[in-house]
Amino acid sequence: MIKESIIVDLQRIVGKENVFTSPECLKTYSYDGTTTWTHKPDVVIFPLNTKALSQVMKLSNREKIAVTPRGGGTNVSGGSIPISGGIVLCLSKMDRITKIDKENMMATVEAGVVLQDLVLELAKEGLFFPPDPQSYYGATIGGIIAENAGGPSCLKYGVTKQYVLGMEVVLPTGEIINLGGRTLNNVIGYDLLHIIISSEGTLGVVTRADLRLMLLPPARKTVMAVYGDAVIAGENVSRVLEAGVIPTKIEYIDNWVINKIEETMPFGLPRDADAVLLFEADGASEAVERETEIIVEVARKHGAKEVRIAESINEANQFWMARRVGASAIYRDTKTVLVEDVTVPRGNLPVLIKRCKELAKKYNLEIVALGHAGDGNLHPAILTDITDVNHYQKATEAMDEIFQAAVEFGGVISGEHGIGLEKQKFLMKTIDPTVLTIMKKIKTLLDPNNIMNPEKIWSESDKPPLNLRFD
């Protein structure tokens, strides 16, 4: 418990109206996008500016109070759960887009800016920010940076780290530092900027970022390829790329998810398909037309039983809205969902899909999947019930085998969602022990009292801080 005198100090720093200790509020900020973890903080605060946030960090460091930074809480690794109690530092009120520089194709934004809001403002200037995680409507820039988010478009455009030029960061000890800058080339000393990116809020709090932007492409085309066999769909990803086309997006949706999408919000997806692939090509009109022709030709040649080109922007938007709905549709009628984020080399995507199907039969479980197929990123989801001990045990064993399969097939246990709490037990199996030791030394250097999002990525205790949700 945090002493009342500390609460008073926090109220003085950020304003009484921005400090919350009610049971309702603490419960609201006790969980994130995961379904198996929960832990209440002692207090939730909303700083309005970097100076106030710095004072909060100095106070927390002096008193050795755990601080969990939080944006939209959309992550699915348990990264924003205050597992050690203490303070939840919510940056949602630091949400200004301070500058859009069309000439240099840059934007300066505060960490609490929601991605959708940024996208809409940039579109007015004919610009866009390429990272597009599926939590588009709620994810904040700070969280996107902390997780190094990708999304469907990363096949062509890459991930967040390629679009962050500079950042303002408040360290756990309260110092305010500026990393990088507003130029495309910056080779002054160690690249500390990219150490903070993907650090999952364990090294400091990102308060402002300078982002690199792109011009909106003049043309887009969307193709849906329908398959009677999900493994063949996985094989088609490499076939398209081998044909010399790099689509903006290649997204995978399996049969179960298709049907759940159609039950939730009918978009006209083929309910009898074992899987569909959604392709998007963008760029100059002539190039897009040619790439679309190749995608259609390759899909038909290699096993697609139907190929549809979206005939209008509205129909294309329907396809992509269906993909976005898919993630939430999985949760609709299921008490507990174990959703993971494994990535393999593209050529091994078919064998990973096949392994997931085999594990579903082995454990008698429903294992469904969505994925950013273009970069080999699959999101298997196991439907279970945490209150059913036997069923949940089978589900966790199956998920363990999916992680093992990803490593066996040359992949990694996290493509875009981080380690958080969910994947700690697999970390040692997939990382060089010396590298982990270096990471811990960096953490100790920047956070000597271990207050910054403690117990994330790895646990300092012998046992992981398990606190599963049963309500």
- Please check whether residue 222 lies inside any domain of the structure: yes
| Token pair 């990272």: residue | 131
End residue of a domain, out of 42, 66, 90: 90
Please measure the distance between the N-terminal and C-terminal CA atoms of the chain and give it in whole angstroms.
Answer: 23
Cβ–Cβ < 8 Å for 427, 412:
no
Cβ–Cβ < 8 Å for 83, 451:
no
Cβ–Cβ < 8 Å for 125, 100:
yes
Kindly indicate the confidence band of residue 272, based on its pLDDT and cuts at 50, 70 and 90.
very high
How many other CB atoms are found less than 10 A from the CB of residue 470?
8
Q: Is pLDDT above 60 for 103?
A: yes
Q: How many Å apart are CA 170 and CA 174, to the nearest integer?
A: 6
- Residue 323 and residue 243 share a domain: yes
- Please check whether residue 129 lies inside any domain of the structure: no
Task: Provide the domain limits for residue 76.
Answer: 4-90
Q: How many Å apart are CA 92 and CA 110, to the nearest integer?
A: 9
Angle at 17 between CA 12 and CA 20, to 5 degrees: 95
- Please check whether residue 369 lies inside any domain of the structure: yes
- Residue 313 and residue 376 share a domain: no
- Residue 326 and residue 228 share a domain: yes
- Please check whether residue 260 lies inside any domain of the structure: yes
| Res 464: pLDDT | 46
How many other CB atoms are found less than 10 A from the CB of residue 164?
23
- Residue 326 and residue 267 share a domain: yes
| Res 220: pLDDT | 96
State CA 409 to chain mean position distance. 22
- Please check whether residue 447 lies inside any domain of the structure: no
End residue of a domain, out of 90, 106, 121: 90
- Residue 70 and residue 47 share a domain: yes
Q: How many Å apart are CA 49 and CA 44, to the nearest integer?
A: 16
Question: Would the CA dihedral through 219, 182, 142, 124 be positive or negative?
Answer: negative
State CA 128 to chain mean position distance. 18
Q: How many Å apart are CA 370 and CA 223, to the nearest integer?
A: 17
- Residue 280 and residue 339 share a domain: no
- Please check whether residue 426 lies inside any domain of the structure: no
- Please check whether residue 406 lies inside any domain of the structure: yes
pLDDT in tens, 134-181: 888 899 999 999 999 988 899 999 999 999 999 999 999 999 999 998
Mean pLDDT of the chain: 92
Tally the C-alpha atoms within 13 A of residue 426's C-alpha that lie toward its C-beta: 26
Which CATH number covers residue 15? 3.30.43.10
Cβ–Cβ < 8 Å for 91, 44:
no
How many other CB atoms are found less than 10 A from the CB of residue 282?
20
Q: Is pLDDT above 90 for 409?
A: yes
| Res 467: pLDDT | 47
- Residue 326 and residue 241 share a domain: yes
- Residue 377 and residue 284 share a domain: no
User: Regarding predicted confidence, which is higher, 138 or 36?
Assistant: 138
- Residue 370 and residue 321 share a domain: no
pLDDT in tens, 37-84: 899 999 999 999 999 999 999 999 999 999 999 999 988 888 999 999
- φ, ψ (nearest 5 deg) of residue 209: -140, 145
Question: Do the strands 67-70 and 87-90 form a parallel or antiparallel pair, or are they unpaired?
Answer: parallel
Which CATH number covers residue 380? 3.30.70.2740
Q: What domain count does the chain have?
A: 3
**Cβ-proximal residues to 364 (8 Å cutoff; 6+ apart), any chain:** 394
End residue of a domain, out of 286, 307, 333: 333
> Which of 125, 284, 279 shows the shortest CA–CA distance to 213?
125
- Residue 272 and residue 235 share a domain: yes
Which CATH number covers residue 268? 3.30.70.2190
**Cβ-proximal residues to 449 (8 Å cutoff; 6+ apart), any chain:** 61, 64, 172
Region 291-314 average pLDDT: 96
| Token pair 């993907």: residue | 198
User: Regarding predicted confidence, which is higher, 467 or 323?
Assistant: 323
pLDDT in tens, 1-20: 899 999 999 999 999 999 99
Q: How many Å apart are CA 433 and CA 427, to the nearest integer?
A: 10
Cβ–Cβ < 8 Å for 119, 128:
yes
Type and span of the H or E element at 14? helix 4-14
Q: Is pLDDT above 60 for 299?
A: yes
- Please check whether residue 353 lies inside any domain of the structure: yes
Q: How many Å apart are CA 358 and CA 295, to the nearest integer?
A: 29
pTM for this prediction: 0.91
pLDDT in tens, 434-448: 999 999 999 999 999
- φ, ψ (nearest 5 deg) of residue 241: -65, -35
Q: Cα dihedral angle (104, 112, 98, 158), rounded to 10 degrees?
A: 0
Q: Please give the share of the chain, as a percent, with pLDDT higher than 90.
A: 78
- Residue 328 and residue 396 share a domain: no
| Res 461: pLDDT | 65
- Residue 340 and residue 247 share a domain: no
pLDDT in tens, 208-260: 999 999 999 999 999 999 999 999 999 999 999 999 999 999 999 999 999 99
